[in-house]
């Protein structure tokens, strides 16, 4: 079945994020995957765990309005794209993250403390499957018109289309962050290795 271009775009964004995450963790190893620059900053594993938590919280807020819309027969009228305010909000999620739009994650979507890299990646992948299932189930609805309460700011209501685009932009935001952490971890581990070698040579001398 041919997908509408806007629905295909959402699938493509999910594909790209999943591919990026797989490359991110490939050959990373547990030490570097759980490395963080200092207390209060996240490791690669924590970035992935945060994304898994955020995806599920957003989906939980979207499911009931989507199910009610189906009962009401609110089928597709317009492309699944955000409106003016939604587009602005999605842009604030996109990397590189500007200082103005850096905020502390609310407790409900903060990562587990020091999760294992494999566990965090598996959780991220499982949450991705849930996003795909939601999109496949409700792609025929009027996603641009059906609204749901923002799970973090209850007075704000987004369209389901905006919610899906927020999920994909938020993934890009934290995968960008995770790549920066990976590069820093690789530099740190390499530096420690050189230091150990230098110390060993001094001992031999």
- Those residues whose C-beta lies under 8 Å from the C-beta of residue 83, and which sit 6 or more positions away, are 144, 159, 162
User: Does residue 13 have a pLDDT over 70?
Assistant: yes
Question: 72-122: per-residue pLDDT in tens?
Answer: 999 999 999 999 999 999 999 999 876 555 667 677 788 888 899 999 999
Structure pTM?
0.88
Domains of the chain: 5-204 (1.20.120.450)
Q: What is the mean pLDDT of residues 135-152?
A: 95
Q: How many CB atoms lie within 10 A of CB 181?
A: 23
How many other C-beta atoms lie within 10 A of the C-beta of residue 32?
Answer: 22
Query: Omega of the bond prior to 188 within 30 degrees of 0, cis?
Result: no
pLDDT at residue number 154: 76
């Amino acid at each position: 079945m041919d997908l509408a271009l806007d629905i295909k775009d959402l699938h493509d964004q999910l594909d790209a994020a999943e591919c990026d995450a797989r490359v991110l963790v490939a050959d990373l190893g547990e030490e570097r995957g759980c490395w963080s620059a200092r207390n209060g900053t996240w490791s690669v594993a924590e970035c992935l765990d945060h994304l898994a938590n955020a995806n599920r919280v957003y989906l939980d807020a979207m499911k009931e309005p989507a199910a009610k819309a189906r009962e009401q027969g609110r089928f597709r009228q317009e492309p699944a794209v955000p409106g003016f305010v939604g587009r602005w909000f999605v842009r604030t999620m996109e990397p590189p993250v500007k200082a103005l739009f850096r905020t502390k994650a609310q407790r409900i979507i903060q990562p587990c403390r020091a999760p294992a890299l494999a566990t965090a990646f598996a959780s991220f992948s499982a949450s991705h499957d849930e996003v795909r299932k939601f999109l496949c189930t409700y792609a025929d609805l009027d996603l641009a018109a059906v609204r749901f309460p923002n799970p973090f700011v209850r007075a704000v209501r987004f369209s389901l289309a905006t919610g899906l685009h927020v999920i994909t932009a938020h993934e890009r935001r934290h995968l960008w962050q995770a790549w920066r952490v990976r590069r820093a971890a690789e530099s740190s581990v390499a530096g420690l290795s050189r230091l150990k070698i230098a110390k060993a040579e001094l001992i031999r001398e």
